[in-house]
Amino acid sequence: MDYFQIALVTLEATIRLSVPLILAALAGLFSERAGIFDIGLEGKMLAAAFAGGAAAAVYDSAFLGLLAAIAVSVCLALVHGYASITQRGNQIVSGVAINFIAIGATVILGQAWFRQGGRTPQLGGDSRFEAVTLPFVDTLADIPYIGDIYASLISGHFLLTYFAFAMVPFSWWVLYRTRFGLRLRAVGENPGAVDTAGISVTRMRYLAVICCGILCGFAGAYLSMAVAAGFVKGMTAGKGFIALAALIFAKWKPVNVMLACLLFGFLDALAILMQGRPLPLIGEVPVQFMQALPYILTVILLAGFIGKAIPPKAGGVPYVKER
Amino acid sequence: MDDLAIELKGIDKSFGAVHANKNINLAVRKGTIHGIIGENGAGKSTMMSILYGFYQADRGDIMVNGSKVIIRDPNVAIASGIGMVHQHFMLVDNFTVLENVMLGAEENAILNRGITNARAELKRLEEEYALDVDADAVIEELPVGLQQRVEILKALYRSAEILILDEPTGVLTPAEADHLFRILRQLRDQGKTIILITHKLREIMAITDEVSVMRRGEIVATRETAKTSVEELAELMVGRRVLLQVEKGDANPADVKLAVTNLTVRDGRGVVMVDNVSLDVRAGEIVGIAGVAGNGQSELLEAITGIRRAESGTVLLDGEAIGATGEADPALLRKRGLAHVPEDRHHMGLVLSFEENENAILGYHDDPEYLNGPMLNLENIRKAAQRSVEKYDIRPPDVRLKTANFSGGNQQKIVLAREMERDPIVLIIGQPTRGVDVGAIEFIHKRIIEMRDAGKAILLVSVELDEIRSLSDRILVMFAGRVVGERTPEATEGELGLLMAGVEEDQEAAQ
Amino acid sequence: MSSPYEKLPGWVEYVLIPLINLTVAFLVAGLVVLIVGQSPIKAASLLVQGAFGYGEGLGFTLYYATNFIFTGLAVSVAFHCGLFNIGGEGQAYIGGLGVALVCLWLDGIFPWYLTFLVAVTASALFGAAWAFIPGYLQAKRGSHVVITTIMFNFIASSLMVYMLVEVIKPLGSMAPQTRTFLEGGQLPRLDWLLAMFGFDIGGAPFNLSFIVALVAAFFVWVLIWRTRLGYEIRTMGASPTAARYAGIKDARIIIITMLISGGLAGMMALNPIMGDQHRLQLDFVAGAGFVGIAVALMGRSHPVGIIPAAILFGVLYQGGAEISFEMPEISRDMITIIQGLVILFAGALENMFRPALVAFFATMRGAGNPSEVSTSGE
C-alpha cells in the first residue's frame, strides 16, 4: 500500500469512528448547555443500540429500528430528567445509575428474547442501513487522487454519517440562531433569568434532555444497525465517555465538538493502523497509549494547560426558586 | 391622578410556619413613585414576588389598572404591564445586552427578525429614556450600574407600565444611585408607575411620592412622602420608639493592638474593593465602621483575618505583621489572639449540619485542649460547649443538637461564645445582630461592651447605623473602598449619612 | 448532598427511607424478571438460598462483600469531603499492580504474613497514587474530580493492559496475566471463622482480607468522626467557606482525602489477587469500584451502613451466580441492573418518598397544623 492509500484508509476509518462520538457529544451538548450534566451518554447509546438492533430484526425494518432506538434513549433521558429536574437529585449519581441499568438490561433482555449470548440476530437487507453511493463516483473514478477521495471519503457512507455531520451546523444554528437555543443556553447559565422572563425552567430542561435522548438514539442506531449488523453485548465500549471527553475538550461548542470527535476518532484509527508497525525515531507506540490518549488529552485540558474549559455556570445545580 | 395602577386586596401568604404577608391592602396610583419600606424580613419581597407571579397568594385579589388579574406566573405579570428589577440581577452573564433583553420576548422561533427589531427598539428606548448601553456588550464585562440599567431596559422592552425595583441601590455607588433616581423620575414623568422597595429611609424621602410601611408581614401605614418625616417612618418601621441606647461607660484606650496601614484589596475580577485603608484599634476601645453594604467593609474584614489576600499594605497584630499580602493564615491568627465573628454566620461562622459542640470549636479545633494527639477529645469539647451554652444562655441547651435547628439569635450566640471566650487580643465583629431577635440583640451588645471593658481591641462593622452609633467609641465611615472620615459617636445621623453617601468626600480629601 | 427538606425522626431518616428506596429498587428489578418471563419469587428464594443456604455460598457472599466494603469506604470518605470519586475502579486496578509486584518479588523469600504487610502498604500506596493526580488537579487547578477520575479509569485500564501484555507477563506465556504466586504470596482463608458457626466454606475464597476490610471500616469511622483530620474533612465537605474561615487548608484536605479514598480502593485488590486468584489478571476489579458508589449511597457514607450494604451486594453477586445456574435467562448481568436501580433510587431519587413521609409523620404527630411541616422555599 502506498502512503496515499494508507492515508485514505485511515481517514475513512476516522470518519467511521467519529460518527457515534459526534452524535453522542452533540447529545451531551444539548443537555449540558441547559445545565443538566450527563455522564449517562454511554448507557443511553448502549440501550439505543440494543433497541435498534432488536426492533430492526423483529420487524425487518431499519426505520422501525431507528425509531425504537430513539424511543428507548429518550425514555432513559426522561428518567435522568425526572431525577435531576423534578426530584432535584444528584445528576452524576443519576447518570451512573442509567449506565448500569443499560449495561445490565441490554444483556438480560437480549438473552431472554433472542438467546444468542446477548446478541441480537444478524441484520441485513431492509433491516440494516446500507452505505449510499453518491452520484458521479464512476465519472470521477479515473481522475487520480480526486476520484479515490471522492469515492471513499465523500461517498460511500451511511445516511446516518451524513446526518451526523449535518447535525453539527444544525446544532450550532439551533443554539445560536433560534429562540429555543437562546433559552436553552440561558437556562444553563442562569435559570433565574429564564424564570423571571416568564419561561418555564422545567420545560426547557426537559426539552433539552429529550434532544439529548434523540441524538443518543441515533448514535446507538449507528452502532448496531449501520457499522455492525446487530447488537453485541457492551458494544459502545466507552464511546459515551470519549464523547463526554470530546464535549469538554470542545468547551461545549458545536463546531469544536466535531473537531474534537474527529481528533479522537483519528487517534482511534491511528491506533488500529499502527498496531505492530514501529514508527521511525519513536519506535513502536503501544496501542494502549493511543487508546488512552483522548482521556489523557482531556485531563490535560481540564488541568488548564491548554486553555480553560469552563462549563455552563448552572450545570449540575437543580433549580430552586428562591424566596 | 386617582387612577390606580395596582391594588392589592387582602393578600395573605404563608411559607410553612412563617406568615410572610398578612392581609395586605395596598393601592398604588398611576404615574407615581410608591415606596415600600420595612426592615429586612418584613415581607416586602414576598409581596412583590406575589405581584410578579413568582408565588401565589393564599388569599386575596390583585387588581391591575382597575381590573382583577390572576397572576399565575411571570408571563401574566409581564402581559399585564408589570416589570421587575430584582435585587440579584436576573441576567445571563455571558450573553450580550441584546440577548438578555430579548430573552423571553423573541417574537419568532428564529431569531433573525427578532434581533433586528430588538436592536431598533433598544435604540429607541435608550434615546427616549437616556439609558445608554452598548447593545453588543457582554454583561459580565459591564459595571453593576449598567447591568441594572439592562434590567430596566428588559422591563421597558416588554412595555412595562409598572416597574418594581427591589432594593435597587444595595449594590450601587451613590453616584450610580443618583443616576438611577434621575432615571426613575424621568420614567415617572413619562407616565410610568414605579414601586420602590427599600429599607433605606433616605431613599424614600428623596424620591418617592407616597410610601407604605411594612412591619412583620403587614402594611402598617401609607403616607404621602411630603407629609411625613424620617422619624415617623422609622417609628412605624420598628413599631416602637427604640433608641438603641446601650449602657456603657467611657472607654480607656491603651496601646494600639491592631494597626492597618495602606491596605489595598482587589476582588476576583481585579476591581479595587479596599483602597489604601489605614486604621488603628487600641486595647479597650470599639472602632465602628459605618457604610452602605458593599463599600469594601467585607473585604477589609476578610483581609485582616487572613481569609482574603491583600494586594498591598500591612496589618500589625499586637505589633507584629500578619503577612496580609502573603502567608496570613486564619488558623495562625487565631492562635495569636485575633478572634473573628464573621458577617455571614450561615456560610462562614457555622457549619449548619454540625452538632452545636462541633461548631463550638470551629477554627479552634487544633487547640491542644480539644485533642489527644490526632484524635478529638470529645469529652473536653462537649464540656467546653456546655459551659458556653450556660454562660451565653444558648437555647435549647443541647450541645448535641444540629446547629441548623437553633434560631438565628442562638446561632449567633454560638459564634460569639466561641470567639469571645478565648481571651483574644483583638476582636473583629461583622454584623453582630443581623437576623437576630430583639432579646438577643441586647445581650450581644452588652457582651461586646464587656469585652471592651476587659481591654480587648474591637473592630466592629455593621450596616445598622444605630448599632454603630450606640456601640462605637470612634466611628470610621467607608465609602467606595476608602475610609472617608472619622467621627465621634456624638455625630448626628445626618452627618454620618452624608459621609456614607460619599457627599463630603471631596472636602475631606481636601483637608 | 444536603436537602432542603423538613426534619424527620432519626429512624425514619436512616432506616425507613433507605429501606423504602431499596424495596422500590428491588420491586423494579422483580419487574424485569417478570418481563423476562421468570418468577421473581423463585429468583428471590434462589438468591437467598445461594447466598446463605450453605457454607460455600456464605463464603462467596462474604468474599464479594469484602471487595465492596473497601470500595464503598473509598467512595464515602470522598463524599464526606464533598468529592465524588468515581475512580475507585481504576484505583483498585492500579492497587492490584502494587499487590502483584510485591507478591512476585517477595513470595519466594518471605512467609505470607510478611509479604502481606508489604502488600497492604503497596496496594494502598498504588491506589492512592492513582487518586493523587485527580485530587491534585481538583485542589490546585479546579478540574472537576468526577470527570478526571472517569478519565483515569480508562487510562488505568489501558496502562494495565500494557503492563500485563508487554511487561509483567511471564516469557512464553500467551495469557495476559502474571505467574501464580508461591505460598508466600497467598493469604490464608478464613474457613475456621465460619467453621465456628458450623459452616464449611468448601472452595470459597473467603480470606483474611475480610478482616482487613472490617479494620478499614473501623479506621474510617475513627478517622471521620473522631480525629481532627476527619473534622476538617467534614467541614470542607459541608461548607468550604466555613473551612476557609476556620483556617483549614482546602487544597491540602482535598488531596489528603483523595489519597485516603484511593488507598482504600487500592486495598480492595488484596482480596481477589492475594486472597483468591494468586495472580494478577486483566479486569480483576470487575466493576467493584462502581459497586462502591451504590454501597456508599445505600450505607449513607457511614461504616455502619456500608458493611450491611456491601454484604447485600455480596448476596447479589453470589446469589446471582446461583440464579444464573438454575435460571439461565437471569444471568449475572441482572446484578448490574439492580446495582443501577439501587444507585437510582437510593441516590438520585433519594428524596422521592420524603414529602409523603413528612406529611404522614406530621399527621401522626397530630400537630393539627399541616402548614408547620411544609417544605421551605417556594
**With an 8 Å Cβ cutoff, are B376 and C244 in contact?**
no
Question: Does the CB of A189 have a partner CB in chain B at under 8 Å?
Answer: yes
pLDDT of residue C13: 81
Q: What is the mean pLDDT of residues B255-280?
A: 91
In whole numbers, what is the pLDDT of chain B averaged over residues? 88
**With an 8 Å Cβ cutoff, are B365 and C244 in contact?**
no
**With an 8 Å Cβ cutoff, are B365 and C231 in contact?**
yes
**With an 8 Å Cβ cutoff, are B352 and C247 in contact?**
no
**With an 8 Å Cβ cutoff, are A197 and B105 in contact?**
yes
C-alpha C368: how far from its chain's center? 44
Question: Does the CB of B144 have a partner CB in chain A at under 8 Å?
Answer: no
Q: Provide the pLDDT confidence category of residue C6 given band limits of 50, 70 and 90.
A: low
Compute how many other C-beta atoms are within 10 angstroms of the C-beta atom of residue A306: 11
CB proximity under 8 Å: C 129-188 to A? 133, 137, 141-144, 146-148, 150-152, 154-155, 158-159, 161-162, 165-166
Could you tell me the CATH number of the domain that includes residue B314?
Answer: 3.40.50.300
Residue A289 lies in a domain: yes
In chain A, which residue's Cα lies nearest the Cα of C348? Answer: A89
Q: Provide the pLDDT confidence category of residue C368 given band limits of 50, 70 and 90.
A: very low
Could you tell me the CATH number of the domain that includes residue A264?
Answer: 1.10.3470
Q: Which of C7, C231, C246 sits opposite B376 (nearest CB)?
A: C231
Residues B170 and B293 in one domain: no
- pLDDT for A258-268, tens place per residue? 999 999 999 88
* Residue at which a domain ends, from B177, B205, B238: B238
Residue B368 lies in a domain: no
- pLDDT for A271-297, tens place per residue? 888 777 777 767 777 888 888 988 998
- pLDDT for C284-297, tens place per residue? 998 999 999 999 99
**With an 8 Å Cβ cutoff, are B376 and C227 in contact?**
yes
What chains are in contact with C, requiring at least 3 Cβ pairs below 8 Å?
A, B
Question: Does the CB of C162 have a partner CB in chain B at under 8 Å?
Answer: no
The vertex-A306 CA angle with A300 and A309, nearest 5°, equals 80
**With an 8 Å Cβ cutoff, are B331 and C246 in contact?**
yes
Q: Provide the pLDDT confidence category of residue C366 given band limits of 50, 70 and 90.
A: low
Q: How far is C52 from chain A (nearest CA, A)?
A: 24
H/E stretch holding C135 reads helix C112-136
- Best C33, C158, C345 member to test A by mutation, with max A CBs in 10 Å, is C158
Compute how many other C-beta atoms are within 10 angstroms of the C-beta atom of residue A281: 5
- Looking at beta carbons, which residues of chain C come within 8 Å of A111? 328-329, 331
- Best A93, A94, A98, A115 member to test C by mutation, with max C CBs in 10 Å, is A93
Q: Provide the pLDDT confidence category of residue A84 given band limits of 50, 70 and 90.
A: very high
The SS3 assignment for B110 reads strand
Predicted confidence (pLDDT) at residue B170 exceeds the cutoff of 80: no
The residue among C368 and A193 whose pLDDT is bigger is: A193
**With an 8 Å Cβ cutoff, are A91 and C348 in contact?**
yes
Predicted confidence (pLDDT) at residue C45 exceeds the cutoff of 50: yes
HEC profile for C300-335?
CCCHHHHHHHHHHHHHHHHHHHHHHHHCCCCCCHHH
Question: Does the CB of B90 have a partner CB in chain A at under 8 Å?
Answer: yes
**Residue B214 CA: distances (Å) to CA of B43, B168, B234:** 7, 18, 11
Q: What is the mean pLDDT of residues C118-132?
A: 97
Residues B202 and B98 in one domain: yes
* Residue at which a domain ends, from B238, B265, B295: B238
Residues B308 and B429 in one domain: yes
Residues B138 and B98 in one domain: yes
Q: Provide the pLDDT confidence category of residue C376 given band limits of 50, 70 and 90.
A: very low
Residue A316 lies in a domain: no
**With an 8 Å Cβ cutoff, are B111 and A197 in contact?**
no
Q: What is the mean pLDDT of residues A207-232?
A: 96
Residue B337 lies in a domain: yes
The residue among A210 and B176 whose pLDDT is bigger is: A210
Among residues A227, A228, A234, A190, the alpha carbon closest in space to that of A42 is found at A234
Residues B83 and B221 in one domain: yes
Question: Does the CB of B17 have a partner CB in chain C at under 8 Å?
Answer: yes
Domain count, chain B: 2
The interface pTM score, or ipTM, of the predicted complex is: 0.91
- Looking at beta carbons, which residues of chain C come within 8 Å of A291? 154, 158
Residue B341 lies in a domain: yes
- Looking at beta carbons, which residues of chain C come within 8 Å of A92? 84, 86, 146
The predicted model scores a pTM of 0.88
What are the E-state strand segments in A11-83?
none
Question: Does the CB of A288 have a partner CB in chain B at under 8 Å?
Answer: no
For domain C42-355, give the CATH number.
1.10.3470
Q: And the C-alpha cell for A157?
A: 457512507
Q: Are B335 and B318 in contact (CB under 8 A)?
A: no
Domains of chain C, residue spans: 42-355
pLDDT of residue C355: 87
Residue A320 lies in a domain: no
Q: How far is C32 from chain A (nearest CA, A)?
A: 8
Q: What is the mean pLDDT of residues C205-219?
A: 96
Structural domain containing residue A280: 3-302
Residue A11 lies in a domain: yes
- pLDDT for B18-75, tens place per residue? 788 999 999 999 999 999 988 767 788 889 989 998 888 999 999 999 999 999 888 9
Q: Are B392 and B399 in contact (CB under 8 A)?
A: no
**With an 8 Å Cβ cutoff, are B90 and A199 in contact?**
no
**With an 8 Å Cβ cutoff, are B92 and A185 in contact?**
yes
pLDDT of residue B447: 93
Question: Does the CB of C324 have a partner CB in chain A at under 8 Å?
Answer: no
Residue A298 lies in a domain: yes
In chain C, which residue's Cα lies nearest the Cα of B301? Answer: C245
Q: How far is C137 from chain B (nearest CA, A)?
A: 20
In chain B, which residue's Cα lies nearest the Cα of A195? Answer: B74
Residues B39 and B174 in one domain: yes
pLDDT of residue B189: 93
**With an 8 Å Cβ cutoff, are A179 and B108 in contact?**
yes
Q: Provide the pLDDT confidence category of residue A149 given band limits of 50, 70 and 90.
A: confident
Question: Does the CB of B96 have a partner CB in chain A at under 8 Å?
Answer: no
The residue among C348 and B269 whose pLDDT is bigger is: C348
Distance, in Å, from the CA atom of A249 to the CA atom of A259, rounded to the nearest integer, reads 10
Q: Which of B14, B363, B366 sits opposite C245 (nearest CB)?
A: B363
Q: Which of B74, B94, B102 sits opposite A196 (nearest CB)?
A: B74
Q: How far is B75 from chain A (nearest CA, A)?
A: 4
Question: Does the CB of C166 have a partner CB in chain B at under 8 Å?
Answer: no
CB proximity under 8 Å: B 309-368 to C? 329-334, 340, 342, 344, 347-354, 358, 361-363, 365-366
pLDDT of residue C4: 40
Q: And the C-alpha cell for A77?
A: 433521558
Return the minimum-mean-pLDDT range out of A19-28, A52-61, B290-299, B412-421: B290-299
Q: What is the mean pLDDT of residues B463-486?
A: 89
**With an 8 Å Cβ cutoff, are C242 and B14 in contact?**
no
Above pLDDT 70, what percent of chain A?
Answer: 97
Distance, in Å, from the CA atom of C371 to the CA atom of C369, rounded to the nearest integer, reads 5
- pLDDT for A160-181, tens place per residue? 999 999 999 999 999 999 999 9
- Looking at beta carbons, which residues of chain B come within 8 Å of C373? 16
**With an 8 Å Cβ cutoff, are C235 and B351 in contact?**
yes
Q: What is the mean pLDDT of residues C354-374?
A: 66
Predicted confidence (pLDDT) at residue B127 exceeds the cutoff of 70: yes
Above pLDDT 90, what percent of chain B?
Answer: 59
pLDDT of residue C364: 78
- Looking at beta carbons, which residues of chain B come within 8 Å of A323? 15, 45-46, 49
Q: What is the mean pLDDT of residues A118-138?
A: 86
Residues B171 and B137 in one domain: yes
Predicted confidence (pLDDT) at residue B507 exceeds the cutoff of 70: no
Predicted confidence (pLDDT) at residue B241 exceeds the cutoff of 50: no
Residue B417 lies in a domain: no
Predicted confidence (pLDDT) at residue B76 exceeds the cutoff of 60: yes
Domain count, chain A: 1
Q: Provide the pLDDT confidence category of residue B258 given band limits of 50, 70 and 90.
A: very high
- Best A295, A297, A313, A319 member to test C by mutation, with max C CBs in 10 Å, is A295
Predicted confidence (pLDDT) at residue B16 exceeds the cutoff of 50: yes
pLDDT of residue B509: 44
pLDDT of residue B236: 80
**With an 8 Å Cβ cutoff, are B111 and A182 in contact?**
yes
Beta bridge partners of B63: B7, B68
Structural domain containing residue B486: 256-351+424-510
Rama region for B376: left / alpha / beta (φ>0; ψ in -120 to 50; rest): beta
Compute how many other C-beta atoms are within 10 angstroms of the C-beta atom of residue B40: 11
- Looking at beta carbons, which residues of chain B come within 8 Å of C231? 358, 361, 365, 376
- Looking at beta carbons, which residues of chain B come within 8 Å of C375? 16
Predicted confidence (pLDDT) at residue B108 exceeds the cutoff of 70: yes
Residues B285 and B137 in one domain: no
Q: What is the mean pLDDT of residues A295-308?
A: 82
- pLDDT for C146-188, tens place per residue? 989 999 999 999 999 999 988 888 888 888 889 999 998 999 9
Residue A311 lies in a domain: no
Q: Which of B84, B95, B106 sits opposite A179 (nearest CB)?
A: B106
Residues B108 and B182 in one domain: yes
The residue among B215 and B294 whose pLDDT is bigger is: B215
Q: Are A306 and A245 in contact (CB under 8 A)?
A: no
HEC profile for B428-492?
EEECCCCCCCHHHHHHHHHHHHHHHHCCCEEEEECCCHHHHHHHCCEEEEEECCEEEEEECCCCC
Compute how many other C-beta atoms are within 10 angstroms of the C-beta atom of residue A32: 24
What chains are in contact with A, requiring at least 3 Cβ pairs below 8 Å?
B, C
pLDDT of residue C377: 32
- Best C80, C229, C239 member to test B by mutation, with max B CBs in 10 Å, is C239
**With an 8 Å Cβ cutoff, are B306 and C242 in contact?**
no
Amino acid letter at C129?
Answer: A
- pLDDT for B190-222, tens place per residue? 999 999 998 777 788 889 999 999 888 889 999
Return the minimum-mean-pLDDT range out of A233-237, B175-179, C357-361: B175-179
Q: Which residue has the cell 422561533?
A: B109
